Structure 1
C-alpha cells in the first residue's frame, strides 16, 4: 500500500518551504521525494577493528549516498554499570558452556576479550562510550536504477564488514534520519568507544595530508602507490619540510621477498624525474639495469682497477675551477681513517694502539708532503701501503703488530681495493656503487668507503641541490659499530646539505637491536614498513607503536604492500609501476629471462630520457 501526501500552499510559504518537498510518496522500502527514489538502511553489524577513515569508500561512492552518523555520549557511571552487566552475561554464558562440555564460541570469546579491554580503558579514563547509529540513504531517479544502486551499496558495505538492513515500513523515518537535522528516528544504535567513533568520523581520511591543504595544485613528491584504505593515490614529498616532515631521511624495513628493493628502485627512478640527484650503494647488483636505462654512472667495486683511497682529502671544485676544502679537512680525514682502520683490524683498537695509529696517520701524510698548511692539500694523497710502511718503521712492537694485521689489505688477498689512488670520481645524476663482487670480508669497508665518497659530493657547498643517498641492505654496515656510527652521523647531518638518506634492510634486528640503529630510525621522518616475519613483529610493533590491526596487516601483507608513516600520519599502500618501470626494477628470475628472450641480440634496450618531461610523467 502506498500513501501520498502533498503540502498545501500555506505550508510551502516562508523559509521552511524552501526545504520541504512538493510531494512525498511512501512505500514499504523506499520513498519518492520530489520525483527521486530514496531507500534507507541502518547498519546493525560492524567489523571488530577499524582504521582512521574506514568509511571513506562509502563517502566516495560514485553514486549519491547520504551517510548519517549519530552519536550520543553515555554517562561514565552508566557506562561502567552496563559494561559490568555485559561482562557478567558473557562470563555466565562461557561458564555454562564449559560445564555442559560445549565447544567455545569464537565470537563470544572475541566479544569477552573486547569487553574486558574496553572496561579497563573506561575505568582508567582513557576513553568514553557513545551510543552511535550509522545510516545510509541511496538516491536514484527511478525504481529500476534504485534496485541496482541498493545492491551496489550493500555490496560495498559488506566488503567493509558492515551489515546494512533496510528500513522496511520505516522508510520515512530512515529518510528523515539521514537529513541534516540531527534527528535519529530509527534508533538502531551500537555502543562505540572514543577511538572507534573518532575513526568513523566522516571528515577523517586515510590519505596523507597535503603540505598546503588550501592549494589546488597537483600533489608534489613521489608516487608510492595507491591507498588501500581509500580510492586515492599515495604521493609523498620527502623534501617538503613541514609539520610532518622534519628531515629528508627514510627507513624501509621488510622481510626478504616483501618488495623492499622494488619500492626503493621505484622511488629512485621517480626522484630522478623530479631532478633529484641519487647515489646508490648496491650490494647485490640489482640497480645496474636501471642505471644503464637512465644513463647513470655504474662503478663496479671488486673489478680490476676499481679503487677507493681512504686517504683522499675532501677537496671541492668551485664554479671558477678553484679547489677548496674545509679548514679542518685534514683533521676530519684523520678521524675518518680511525673508523676505516677499526673495520680493517676487525675490532676496536686499544687506547695505546689508537695513539700509535694516530701518530702513524700523521706521519704518513707528512711523508707525502701534506701538512696542516692548506696549500699542501692538493698534493697526491698517500695510500694504505704507506701507512703500513710507517707503522713497520716505528720502533714499537704494537706498531709492528698493527702493520702485520694490515698485510692482507696491502699485499694479501684483499689488496685490490687499496693498492693505489682512487680511480674514479663519477659525475652523474645517478651513481651506483656495486659491491656484489667484493669479498664478504670487504663489504662493510666497501660500504663505508662508498658512503664517504658520496658524502664528499653531498657536502660540497659549491653544488647544492636535492640529493638522495640509498644504502640498500644496510645491515652490512650496521653489523659493525664503527660503520653504524658513521651512518648515524650521516643521518643527522644530511638535512643540512639538502640530502636525504634512505636506509633499507631486511634484517630489522641489526637495525633495531642497537642504540645507534634505533637512533638512525628516529632520525628518519619517513618510515616504511613492508611485510614482516612473525619472529620480528613484536620488536617492530614496539618500536613503531603499531596497533593490533597494523601488526596483522604487516604479517599478511602481499608483496609491495606496506605502511608509510610520517609523524602522526600512517597510511597503508600498495606499490604500483608502469610496464616500463616494472621491467627496469623487477628482479624476478623468470621475468628477466623472458625479457632477455624477447631481445636476445640487444639485451635490455630500454632507455629513459630524463630531460623529456612527458616520458617521466607517463612512466610515473
Structure 2
C-alpha cells in the first residue's frame, strides 16, 4: 500500500495565507481510502445477451452511494465493418473445425455469430453504429467493514441483472479516477455495443413506464421511487381522457398547466375552462385566445347557430336539445315532462320569429336571444311555460343578464382557447362552464379530426354538482375518442365525482388517472374507487405539493411534477413569484414559442 497526500489551500483573493489542508489518499489492492471514507471500484466484464429500456436503472437507483461511470467511444464505420467481418470469419472457422472433429454444436458460438451478423447488417444499412463501452462502479462507505458489505450487495445486484462485476484489483486508483467526472478511462476495459444497447442505458430512459417513441408523449416528471423519468402518452391508450383528483393546495393546477404546455409542444391544440383566471398568463405567452365570461361587453348567446356552420342537417335540433340541458342547470334541476314540452314549443316559435327554420340556408341569419325565448314562454297558455319565463327573469332582465343580453362577441379560435370564469358570480359558474363546454364541443364535433385536441376542465365539480351538467360531461367523455379529443377533468372535490353514478362513469372512461394529495375524509372513498393499497393511501395523505400517483389499469407509479425555469414562470400561481399587475390586467408573461425549447431546458 502506498499513500499520497494532497495539499489544498482554501483562500480567497486578498485573504491572509492559511495552513494547507492535507487529505490522505491511501491505495490498496482492493480498496482505496480518501480522507475518512473508503471506496472500491468494480469493473463490468460480462453483459447479458440482450438489454431492455433503462437497463442501468437498478444501478442508478441503488440506495447506497455508488458512482456509475459509462465511457462511450465511437468506432469508425470502416473499422467496425472490418472487425465484424473478421469476428464472423473466426466464428465460422471455429464451427467448421468443431464439425470436422465431431464435436457437439456450440450454441454460444452460434448465438454470437448471429449477433455479429445482425450488427454488421445494421451497420451496412446505416441503422446503427458500433461503440466501445466501458462500465465501472465505485462503491463508497464510511468504514472497511461497511465497504465489504456494500460491495457484496452491489455484486448481488449486478448478478441479478446478468451482469458480471469484478474488483479492479491493484488498479483501485485508476478505477476511482475513471469514475470521477473527468472523462478519463484509465482502466480501458471496453466492450463493443451497438446504438440501441448504448442508448437504452441513457439515464433518462425509464423502465417504469416504457412507452413507444411518440411525438405526443409528455414528460410528467421524475419517478419518486427511482431516478427515472415518467414519460406518458395518453393518445396511445384505449381512451384519451384523463382525471386528476387532488385537494386544494396539492399542485393540481400546476400539473394541469404543465401537462397542457408540454402537449402543445407536440402540436396538440387545446381549450381550457378556467374558473380562477389561472391560465391567462400561459394563454397570452403562447399567443392563445382568452375569453373572459362575465366581463363587461363579453356576451355569449346560447341560441347562436354560427358555430354549427359546418353541420349539414341537425344544427337547429342540436340547439334545441342543448337548451333543455342549459335550462336544467339554470333552474337548478332536470325539467319535468310538461316543462320540456313547453320549452320545445317556445324554441321553435323563437327561431321561427327570427326567420330561422330547418332549412340550412336560414341558419346564417341573426339568432334570437335568451330574452326572446323567455318572451315566447311567457306568451304560452301553458302555466309551465309561464313559470319557466318567471324563473328566467334573473338571466334575461335581472342581475345575471350581462352574459346573455346581446349576440356572441368572441369566437373561440386558435391553438389554445382559455375560457375564464373569474368575472362570473358564483351562481353563474356552473352555467358558464356548461356554455363554454358547449362552444368547445361544437368546434370539436364540426371539424375534421385531423390532429389530437385536448379539452381541460379545471374545478369540474362546478358542473358535476348539477345532474344535467354531469350528463353533458358524461356524453362528452364517451364521444371524445371518436373525434380524436381527450377530456381532462381536474377537481378538488372527489365526492362530487365518485359519489354519483355519472361521475364514476366519467372516471371509468378515463384511461389516465392522476391522484395527488387527498384529505383524510376522502381517502377511503378514493382508495375503494381506485383499488389503492395501504401504502398508496398513506403516500397520498402525506404527499407534498407536486407529488402524484399515476394510475392506468393495474399500473401504478409515483412521480413528482417538475418544470423548467421558463415553464415554472408560466404555470406558477404563487403571487410572490411574479410581478403583481394592476387590477384588471395581468403580469407580463415571458414570450414562448411552441417548440421544444422549454423541454430541453428541463432536461
Give me the TM-score of the superposition, normalised by structure 1: 0.66
Write out per-residue CA displacement over residues 384-404 of structure 1, whole angstroms, 9 at most, x where no aligned residue: 111111111112222211111
CA positional deviation for 1:490: 0.5
**Alignment check: 8 A CA contact 1:54 1:229 kept:** no
CA contact 1:54–1:206 (8 Å) conserved in 2: no
* Correspondence 1:286 to 2:278: yes
How big is each residue's C-alpha offset from its partner over 1:110-133, in whole Å with a ceiling of 9 and x where there is no partner? Answer: xxxxxxxxxxxxxxxxxxxxxxxx
Separation in 1, partners of 2:157, 2:576: 57
User: RMSD of aligned C-alpha atoms?
Assistant: 3.8
1:149 is aligned to 140
Report the equivalent of 1:229: 225
CA contact (8 A) 1:408 1:414 kept: yes
1:512-556 superposed Cα distances (whole Å, 9 cap, x missing partner): 110111111111111000011111110110000111111111111
Q: Look up the SS of the partner of 2:230 in the other structure.
A: strand
Distance 1:418 1:575 in 2: 40
TM-superposed CA distance for 1:176, in Å, is 13
> What is the CA–CA distance in structure 1 between the aligned matches of 2:425 and 2:161, rounded to whole Å?
71
Using the TM superposition, name which of 260-269 and 380-389 deviates more.
Answer: 380-389
1:540-555 alignment to 2 at 5 Å? 540-555=526-541
**Unpaired runs of 5+ in structure 2?**
1-27, 32-39, 44-56, 71-133, 165-205
> Shift of residue 328 of structure 1?
2.1
Q: 1:62 to 1:306 in 2, by over 3 A?
A: same
Q: Which residue of 1 aligns with 2:76?
A: none
Per-residue CA deviation, residues 457-489 of structure 1 (Å, 9 max, x unaligned), is 111234632111110000000010011111111
> Partners of 1:581 and 1:470 in 2: how far apart?
18
* Equivalent in the alignment of 1:57: 61
- Structure 1 Cα separation of the partners of residues 399 and 287 of structure 2: 33
What's 1:439 paired with? 425
Shift of 1:365: 1.4
Give the 3 Å change call, closer, same or farther, for CA 55–514 of structure 1 in structure 2: farther
**In structure 2, C-alpha distance between the alignment counterparts of 1:338 and 1:569, rounded to whole Å:** 40
**d(CA) in 2 for partners of 1:372 and 1:363?**
12
Q: Give the secondary-structure state (helix, strand or coil) at the position aligned to 1:379.
A: coil
1:27-106 matches, within 5 Å, as: 57-58=61-62, 62-63=67-68
1:380 alignment counterpart: 366
| Cα distance, 1:359 vs structure 2 | 1.1
Change in Cα spacing, 1:357 to 1:164, as seen in structure 2 (3 Å) is farther
Structure 1 pair 552–363 and aligned structure 2 pair: CA distance change class (3 A): same
1:207/1:55 CA distance change after superposition, 3 Å: same
Q: Is the 8 A contact 1:314 1:329 kept in 2?
A: no
Distance 2:436 2:294 in 1: 12
Cα distance in 1 for residues equivalent to 2:216 and 2:310: 36
1:586 maps onto 2:557 in alignment: no
Structure 2: distance between partners of 1:490 and 1:286? 24
Matched, 1:255 2:239: no
Mark the CA change 1:335 to 1:38 in structure 2 (over 3 Å): closer, same or farther: closer
Count of matched residue positions in the alignment of Structure 1 and Structure 2: 450
Question: CA–CA distance in 2 between the matches of 1:462 and 1:140?
Answer: 52
Name which of 266, 282, 296 aligns with 1:274: 266
C-alpha distance in 1 between matches for 2:157 and 2:345:
87
On the 8 A contact 1:224/1:234 being kept in 2, the answer is yes
User: 1:100 is matched with which residue?
Assistant: none
Is the 2:412–2:440 Cα contact (8 Å) retained in structure 1?
no
* Structure 2 equivalent of residue 305 of structure 1: 297
- The answer to whether the 8 Å contact 1:282/1:434 transfers is yes
Question: 2: distance between equivalents of 1:174 and 1:276?
Answer: 46
- What's 2:234 paired with? 238
Q: CA deviation at 1:378?
A: 2.0
Shift of 1:592: 2.9
Q: Indicate conservation of the 8 Å contact 2:564/2:598, yes or no.
A: no
* Cα distance change, pair 579–467 in 1 and its aligned pair in 2 (3 A): same
Match of 2:444 among 458, 471, 493: 458
Q: CA deviation at 1:568?
A: 2.3
Alpha-carbon displacement from aligned partner over 1:41-90 (angstroms, at most 9, x marks no partner): xxxxxxxxxxxx9897239964499xxxxxxxxxxxxxxxxxxxxxxxxx
Give 1:363 shift. 1.3
C-alpha separation between the residues in 2 aligned to 1:605 and 1:383?
37
Query: 1: distance between equivalents of 2:287 and 2:431?
Result: 27
Q: Deviations over 1:1-35 (max 9, x none)?
A: xxxxxxxxxxxxxxxxxxxxxxxx9999xxxxxxx
Retained in 2: the 8 A contact 1:253–1:528?
A: yes
CA contact (8 A) 1:249 1:491 kept: yes
Match of 1:618 in 2: 601
Q: Quote the Cα distance in structure 1 between the aligned partners of 2:407 and 2:456.
A: 25
- Contact map agreement 2:234 2:240 (CA 8 A) in 1: yes
1:229/1:376 CA distance change after superposition, 3 Å: same
1:350, distance to aligned residue in structure 2 (A) = 1.8
- Rate the CA distance shift 1:153–1:306 in 2: closer, same or farther, 3 A: farther
Distance 1:500 1:176 in 2: 42
On the 8 A contact 2:514/2:548 being kept in 1, the answer is yes
C-alpha distance in 1 between matches for 2:513 and 2:144: 35
Q: Work out whether 1:350 is the aligned partner of 2:336.
A: yes
- Tell me the distance in 1 between the aligned counterparts of 2:259 and 2:542: 24
- In structure 1, distance between residues paired with 2:541 and 2:568: 25
**Structure 2 Cα separation of the partners of residues 229 and 386 of structure 1:** 60
Equivalences for residues 510-529 of structure 1 within 5 A: 510-529=496-515
Give 3-state SS (helix, strand or coil) of 1:459's partner.
helix
CA separation in 2, counterparts of 1:175 and 1:375? 74
**Could you tell me which of 575, 593, 598 is aligned with 1:609?**
593
TM-score normalized by the length of structure 2: 0.67
What's the CA shift for 1:579? 1.1
The residue number in structure 2 matching 1:209 is 210
Are the equivalent residues in 2 in contact too, given 1:465–1:498 (CA < 8 A)? yes
SS at match of 1:295: coil
Deviation for aligned residue 1:180? 6.6
**Corresponding residue number in structure 2 for 1:407:** 393
Distance verdict in 2 for CA 1:382–1:580, change over 3 Å: same
